[in-house]
């Protein structure tokens, strides 16, 4: 039987000013009916472009060549736009990430399903109520009749993503391509969507999954292709790739995943420091495949007697009247010197508001925050100002936390205003912290937009450590980063924290990261603390049902 997809030596480029700008090269891909295949890679690996080439949507200006490019036995290299249009939706369905923007926000679900069921022409269009209802049922949307009349923004994230999947399978395509189908979803919602896809897989549907997350892939795919810089570096059955990776890059990716087992160890490969100044993080080809040893992180020194941060019965309400909501509801915790405390919760749990109150950017309605046992939240801003150097912030989006007009030197140096370090001494300190995050003096004159995502987050870390704070508040500092960059940043954070003895308040939605990095954890839900305790104890034996649900939802390497 002919395979559904049969591709040999695919190359895709976006030629510009005479340069080929190849983003995919030498790619072979074969997908048989009933198979579930995954393309895994970090940003820039070419996985999404490859997926889009299968529906002829690589965009204008793309140059595609291949020795063989057959879709269901037909040579797609000869396809014109009309042939592609007939293929899309009929033979191949496509699911993108984040249905909030991947569905037309101005049209009702019913209209969009009718569009997806129709033949795509403007004039022949009909309402297909009955078929739409069946479709919504099939993706597990309860009360489908009501959902049909709603707009995407009126649906919850999970239902929205299900509706998007419904449009992709509307005309019963032989293959469904899911491009990061659960990215930007909360863990519990992510699990529902993965379950839905797994169900379809069990029912014998063909799936091509595109993901950066090996754990997700391990639950859904029979076969994995690991991509990097436009090439497939390794492929094989999922279990084999995950348990015995042969290519160093695959191994590095696996090692970079923070989890319970990585506690106390480095996530990024040894000796990576030397290569950070280079644009990419090259893995030495000489490394042996079976070699998987982890390096220890320096030990932290925690002084449990000295409480750097005390949060005492905080309340915060936003809005007024019936529309108001209690965003922070009776939150209390303590953080000792040198300790790391993780705050975990899904979106809307109030964890970011707690961080902002601790930073003194938002005043609590009730309750108080003490720093080193002394009042903090009750102070006026003028009184707080002189002590601000002691508490520093690392924001999620480093780029937006930099004044775009500033050079790196001024960005990092500005945090030293609060400790009145100026002139030559400031420059010395800036160089010192830049060196600590493994960025050389050449970076002093750079502007934020000239830096990569990982470099930006390093500079944010350097800036936070510059005034030698006793408390560091990190709000989702790695959630926008690729997993290998995340590994480097987490290693740096752990290293610098150990060396400086700073306490760390680490806010994250990612339980793996929290488990890897922090000592104690606070689990928040709808403004309340549902569980708190030693991170290993809580995650090993969660008492609260919500914590249990969160932990179950984490996709783990099977």
CB-based contacts of 382, cutoff 8 Å, min separation 6:
none
One residue of 148, 256, 354, 389 binding other proteins per CB under 8 A: 389
One residue of 141, 178, 185, 328 binding other proteins per CB under 8 A: 185
Contact characters 444-463, other proteins, x per CB under 8 A: ---xxxx-------------
Name which of residues 235 to 254 contact other proteins (CB under 8 A). Answer: none
Contact characters 199-238, other proteins, x per CB under 8 A: ----------------------------------------
Smaller CB distance to other proteins: residue 167 or 497?
167
One residue of 9, 43, 378, 386 binding other proteins per CB under 8 A: 386
In the complex, least distance from residue 73 CB atom to other proteins, rounded to whole angstroms: 19
One residue of 294, 334, 384, 438 binding other proteins per CB under 8 A: 384
Q: Is residue 374 at the binding interface for other proteins, with CB under 8 A as the rule?
A: no
Smaller CB distance to other proteins: residue 101 or 295?
101
531/546 Cα distance (integer angstroms): 9
In the complex, least distance from residue 316 CB atom to other proteins, rounded to whole angstroms: 16
Which residues are paired to 31 by β-bridges? 5
The strand ranges marked E within 15-56 are: 22-31, 36-40
Q: Is residue 388 at the binding interface for other proteins, with CB under 8 A as the rule?
A: yes
Stretch that binds other proteins, among 84-92, 286-294, 298-306, 493-501 (CB under 8 A): 84-92
Name which of residues 103 to 122 contact other proteins (CB under 8 A). Answer: 103-107, 115-116, 119-122
One residue of 130, 204, 404, 423 binding other proteins per CB under 8 A: 404
Stretch that binds other proteins, among 7-15, 268-276, 386-394, 540-548 (CB under 8 A): 386-394
Count residues near other proteins (CB under 8 A): 78
- What DSSP assignment string belongs to 119-156? -S-SSS----HHHHHHHHHHTT-SSHHHHHTS-GGGS-
One residue of 8, 25, 33, 85 binding other proteins per CB under 8 A: 85
Stretch that binds other proteins, among 126-134, 193-201, 249-257, 359-367 (CB under 8 A): 359-367
Query: Is the distance from CB of 299 to CB of 305 less than 8 angstroms?
Result: no
Query: Is the distance from CB of 422 to CB of 439 less than 8 angstroms?
Result: no
545-553 helix and 187-202 helix, angle to the nearest 10 degrees: 50
Smaller CB distance to other proteins: residue 178 or 283?
178
Stretch that binds other proteins, among 131-139, 223-231, 293-301, 414-422 (CB under 8 A): 414-422
Closest CA relative to residue 53, chosen from 308, 230, 282, 213: 230
One residue of 9, 65, 86, 556 binding other proteins per CB under 8 A: 86
430/410 Cα distance (integer angstroms): 9
DSSP H helices in 103-247: 109-117, 129-138, 144-148, 157-168, 187-202, 214-220, 238-243
54/89 Cα distance (integer angstroms): 12
Name which of residues 285 to 304 contact other proteins (CB under 8 A). Answer: none
Name which of residues 141 to 160 contact other proteins (CB under 8 A). Answer: 151, 153-154, 157
Query: Is the distance from CB of 176 to CB of 138 less than 8 angstroms?
Result: no
In the complex, least distance from residue 360 CB atom to other proteins, rounded to whole angstroms: 8
Question: Any idea what DSSP says for residue 170?
Answer: T
Question: Any idea what DSSP says for residue 476?
Answer: S
CB-based contacts of 130, cutoff 8 Å, min separation 6:
none
Q: Is residue 88 at the binding interface for other proteins, with CB under 8 A as the rule?
A: yes
Distance of alpha carbon 171 from the chain centroid = 31
In the complex, least distance from residue 245 CB atom to other proteins, rounded to whole angstroms: 27
Smaller CB distance to other proteins: residue 336 or 411?
411
Stretch that binds other proteins, among 329-337, 387-395, 521-529, 546-554 (CB under 8 A): 387-395
CB-based contacts of 532, cutoff 8 Å, min separation 6:
333, 520, 521, 522, 523, 538
Name which of residues 472 to 501 contact other proteins (CB under 8 A). Answer: 476, 479-480
Closest CA relative to residue 23, chosen from 40, 38, 42, 44: 44
In the complex, least distance from residue 353 CB atom to other proteins, rounded to whole angstroms: 11
Query: Is the distance from CB of 162 to CB of 200 less than 8 angstroms?
Result: no
464/49 Cα distance (integer angstroms): 37
Q: Is residue 170 at the binding interface for other proteins, with CB under 8 A as the rule?
A: yes
Contact characters 25-64, other proteins, x per CB under 8 A: ---------------------------x--x-x-------
Contact characters 303-342, other proteins, x per CB under 8 A: --------------------x-------------------
Smaller CB distance to other proteins: residue 83 or 259?
83
One residue of 377, 418, 484, 486 binding other proteins per CB under 8 A: 418
Distance of alpha carbon 498 from the chain centroid = 26
299/338 Cα distance (integer angstroms): 11
71/92 Cα distance (integer angstroms): 10
In the complex, least distance from residue 305 CB atom to other proteins, rounded to whole angstroms: 27
Label residue 3 exposed, middle or buried (CB < 10 Å: 0-12, 13-18, 19+). middle
Q: Is residue 468 at the binding interface for other proteins, with CB under 8 A as the rule?
A: no
The token pair that represents 196 in the structure block: 């839905």
Q: Is residue 442 at the binding interface for other proteins, with CB under 8 A as the rule?
A: no
In the complex, least distance from residue 488 CB atom to other proteins, rounded to whole angstroms: 19
């Amino acid at each position: 039987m002919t395979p559904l997809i049969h591709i040999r030596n695919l190359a895709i480029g976006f030629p510009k000013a005479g340069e080929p700008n190849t983003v995919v090269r030498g790619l072979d891909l074969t997908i048989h009916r009933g198979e579930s295949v995954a393309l895994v890679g970090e940003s820039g690996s070419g996985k999404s472009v490859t997926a889009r080439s299968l529906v002829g949507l690589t965009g204008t200006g793309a140059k595609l060549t291949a020795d063989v490019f057959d879709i269901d036995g037909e040579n797609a290299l000869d396809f014109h736009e009309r042939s592609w249009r007939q293929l899309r939706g009929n033979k191949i369905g496509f699911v993108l990430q984040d249905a909030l923007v991947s569905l037309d926000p101005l049209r009702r679900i019913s209209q969009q399903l009718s569009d997806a069921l129709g033949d795509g022409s403007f004039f022949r269009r009909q309402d297909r109520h009955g078929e739409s209802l069946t479709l919504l049922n099939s993706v597990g949307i309860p009360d489908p009749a009501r959902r049909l009349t709603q707009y995407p923004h009126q649906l919850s994230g999970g239902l929205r993503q299900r509706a998007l999947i419904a449009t992709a399978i509307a005309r019963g395509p032989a293959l469904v391509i899911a491009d990061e189908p659960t990215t930007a979803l909360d863990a519990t919602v992510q699990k529902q969507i993965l379950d839905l896809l797994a169900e379809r897989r069990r029912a014998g549907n063909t799936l091509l999954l595109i993901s950066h997350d090996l754990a997700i892939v391990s639950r859904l795919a029979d076969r994995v292709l690991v991509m990097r810089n436009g090439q497939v570096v390794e492929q094989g059955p999922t279990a084999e790739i995950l348990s015995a990776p042969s290519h160093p890059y695959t191994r590095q990716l696996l090692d970079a995943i923070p989890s319970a087992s990585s506690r106390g160890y480095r996530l990024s490969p040894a000796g990576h420091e030397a290569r950070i100044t280079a644009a990419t993080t090259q893995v030495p080809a000489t490394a042996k495949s079976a070699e998987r040893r982890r390096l220890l992180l320096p030990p932290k020194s925690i002084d449990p007697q000295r409480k750097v941060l005390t949060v005492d019965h905080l309340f915060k309400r936003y809005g007024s009247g019936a529309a108001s909501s209690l965003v922070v509801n009776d939150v209390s915790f303590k953080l000792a010197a040198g300790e790391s405390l993780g705050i975990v919760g899904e979106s809307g749990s109030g964890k970011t508001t707690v961080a902002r109150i601790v930073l003194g950017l938002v005043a609590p309605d009730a309750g108080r925050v003490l720093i080193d046992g002394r009042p903090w939240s009750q102070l006026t801003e003028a009184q707080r100002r002189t002590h601000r150097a002691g508490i520093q912030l690392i924001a999620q989006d480093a780029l937006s936390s930099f004044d775009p007009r500033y050079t790196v030197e001024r960005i990092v140096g500005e945090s030293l205003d609060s400790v009145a370090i100026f002139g030559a001494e400031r420059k010395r300190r800036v160089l010192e912290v830049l060196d600590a995050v493994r960025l050389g003096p050449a970076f002093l004159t750079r502007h934020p937009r000239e830096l990569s995502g990982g470099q930006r987050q390093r500079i944010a870390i350097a800036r936070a450590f510059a005034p030698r704070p006793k408390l560091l508040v990190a709000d989702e500092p790695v959630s926008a980063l690729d997993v290998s960059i995340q590994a480097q940043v987490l290693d740096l954070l752990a290293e610098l924290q150990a060396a400086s003895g700073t306490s760390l308040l680490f806010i994250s939605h990612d339980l793996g990261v929290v488990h890897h990095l922090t000592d104690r954890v606070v689990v928040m839900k709808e403004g309340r603390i549902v569980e708190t305790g030693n991170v290993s104890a809580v995650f090993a034996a969660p008492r609260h049902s919500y914590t249990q649900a969160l932990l179950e939802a984490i996709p783990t390497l099977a």
